[in-house]
C-alpha cells in the first residue's frame, strides 16, 4: 500500500501534454509569403484561417486573412499569434504560395522553415502567386465548400485532372533544392475574378527563377516529366479543313544519356490514345500516316522545349542526376556535366499509337 501511495503521489506531480481543444485552435488552410522590399523586414507573411461552420455547400466557406511584415518567417508567424484569440495550427495547411517578387529577390534557403516545422505536412503543395501571394489568398471561389478546398482539389487531382497543372509537394521541392543535377519547378497561380487559373509552370535554379513556360510548353513538360495522361496532341489536317485532336490515355518515357565528351540525351516517348476530333473519313485513308505525323510534330516540339530549357541554365528533368546515377559519378563528374550541359544535344523519338476513333454514331 505504501508503494501504491508513493506512485499516486508521483503521478500527481506530472504535468499534462498541453494539447488544446479544437475550439481553441485556428486552422491555417493557406499560407502566402511575399517580398516587401524592406531590408529590415523583407517577408510579408499572410495566413488564411478557416472559420468553422456547420454548412457544407458551395459558397459557404468563411475565412479570415491576417498579414504582417517580419525579418524571418518564424518571427512573422510568432507575431501573427497576437492577431488572433486562438492557437495557430498548420496541420491542415495544404497549400503554400510564394509571391513572384520573393523568388526574384529572396533567398530560397529561408524556405527551410517549412521543412523544419513539425506540424507542416510534407505532402503540402507549393506554388507561385502572380502578381503576389496575398492577392491569391483573397480570392474566395464561389464553388468552395470549405476553406482551402478549391486549391486542395486543384493540386491533388482529387477534383480536376488537367495536363496543365503541375503539382509540387514540399518533400519534392526540398529535394529539388538540395539535390545535385535536379532543379526546382513551381506551378503559377493567377486570379480571374472569383477563381484561379493554373496552367503555367516556373523553372528555377537553386536560388533564382529562370524561365516561365507557356500553357502549351507546360503540358509538354507535364507529359514527359510526370507522365501525366489525359492530355492531347493536336495538328492541322493536311489537305482538309479542320484539326486532328488525339487524347492521350497512356504515356511512357525513357531517357538514355550517352557517355561521350559532350553527351547526347535521347528521350523515347510512347503515346497511346484515340482521336476525339478529325475531318470526316480521315481515319479511313491511312492510320499509320496520321500516327507518323503526330509523332514527328511531338518530337519537334519537345526538342525545341528541351533546348529552350537547356539555354535557360536549368535542369527540371534531372538529366544531371540521371547522368551521375548511370555512370556512378561523383563531384568531379558533376562539375564536368555542368560544363558540358549548355552544349548537350537532344533527340526525341515519339511512337504514337491511335487505338480508335472514339464513339462514332
Range with the lowest mean pLDDT among 11-25, 40-54, 309-323, 327-341?
11-25
pLDDT score of 14 more than 70:
no
DSSP 70-134: ESSHHHHHHHHGGGSSSEEE-TT--EEEEEHHHHHHS-GGGGHHHHH-TTS-TT-EEEEEES-HH
Say what the pLDDT of residue 118 is.
Answer: 85
Say what the pLDDT of residue 199 is.
Answer: 94
Q: In the numeric block, which cell numbers belong to residue 68?
A: 504582417
Q: Are 113 and 74 in contact (CB under 8 A)?
A: yes
CA distance 56 to 60: 7
Please compute the mean of the pLDDT values over residues 138-142 and round it to a whole number: 87
pLDDT band at 117 (very low <50, low <70, confident <90, very high): confident
The total of other beta-carbon atoms located within 10 Å of residue 228's CB is 21
Say what the pLDDT of residue 275 is.
Answer: 86
Domain ranges of the chain: 22-213, 216-361
pLDDT band at 61 (very low <50, low <70, confident <90, very high): low
Over residues 211-235, the pLDDT tens digits come to 999 999 999 999 999 998 889 888 8
Over residues 247-266, the pLDDT tens digits come to 999 999 999 999 888 899 99
Domain 216-361 has CATH 3.40.50.720: no
CA distance 274 to 216: 20
Interacting residues of 189 by C-beta distance below 8 A, sequence separation 6+: 97, 127, 128, 129, 130, 136, 151, 196, 197, 198
- pTM (global) more than 0.95: no
pLDDT score of 200 more than 90:
yes
Amino acid at each position: 500500500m505504501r508503494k501504491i501511495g508513493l506512485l499516486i503521489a508521483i503521478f500527481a506531480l506530472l504535468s499534462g501534454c498541453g494539447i488544446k481543444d479544437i475550439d481553441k485552435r485556428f486552422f491555417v488552410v493557406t499560407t502566402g509569403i511575399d517580398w516587401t522590399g524592406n531590408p529590415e523586414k523583407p517577408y510579408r507573411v499572410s495566413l488564411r484561417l478557416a472559420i468553422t461552420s456547420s454548412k457544407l455547400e458551395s459558397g459557404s466557406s468563411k475565412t479570415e486573412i491576417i498579414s504582417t511584415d517580419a525579418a524571418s518567417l518564424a518571427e512573422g508567424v510568432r507575431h501573427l499569434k497576437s492577431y488572433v484569440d486562438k492557437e495557430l495550427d498548420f496541420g491542415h495547411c495544404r497549400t503554400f504560395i510564394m509571391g513572384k517578387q520573393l523568388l526574384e529577390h529572396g533567398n530560397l534557403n529561408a524556405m527551410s522553415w517549412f521543412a523544419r516545422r513539425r506540424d507542416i505536412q510534407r505532402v503540402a503543395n507549393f506554388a507561385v502567386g502572380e502578381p503576389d501571394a496575398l492577392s491569391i489568398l483573397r480570392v474566395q471561389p464561389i464553388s468552395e465548400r470549405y476553406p482551402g478546398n478549391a486549391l486542395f482539389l486543384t493540386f491533388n487531382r482529387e477534383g480536376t485532372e488537367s495536363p496543365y497543372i503541375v503539382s509540387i509537394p514540399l518533400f519534392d521541392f526540398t529535394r529539388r533544392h538540395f539535390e545535385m543535377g535536379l532543379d526546382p519547378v513551381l506551378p503559377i497561380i493567377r486570379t480571374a475574378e472569383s477563381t484561379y487559373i493554373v496552367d503555367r509552370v516556373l523553372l528555377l535554379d537553386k536560388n533564382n527563377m529562370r524561365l516561365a513556360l507557356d500553357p502549351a510548353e507546360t503540358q509538354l513538360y507535364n507529359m514527359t516529366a510526370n507522365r501525366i495522361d489525359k492530355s492531347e496532341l493536336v495538328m492541322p489536317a493536311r489537305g482538309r479543313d479542320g484539326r486532328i485532336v488525339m487524347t492521350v490515355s497512356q504515356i511512357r518515357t525513357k531517357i538514355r544519356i550517352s557517355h561521350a565528351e559532350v553527351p547526347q540525351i535521347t528521350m523515347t516517348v510512347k503515346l497511346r490514345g484515340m482521336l476525339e476530333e478529325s475531318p470526316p473519313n480521315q481515319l479511313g485513308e491511312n492510320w499509320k500516316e496520321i500516327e507518323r505525323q503526330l509523332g514527328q510534330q511531338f518530337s519537334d516540339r519537345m526538342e525545341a522545349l528541351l533546348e529552350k530549357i537547356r539555354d535557360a541554365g536549368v535542369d527540371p528533368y534531372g538529366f544531371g542526376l540521371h547522368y551521375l546515377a548511370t555512370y556512378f559519378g561523383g563531384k568531379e563528374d558533376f562539375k564536368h556535366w555542368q560544363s558540358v550541359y549548355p552544349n548537350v544535344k537532344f533527340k526525341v523519338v515519339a511512337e504514337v499509337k491511335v487505338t480508335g476513333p472514339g464513339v462514332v454514331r
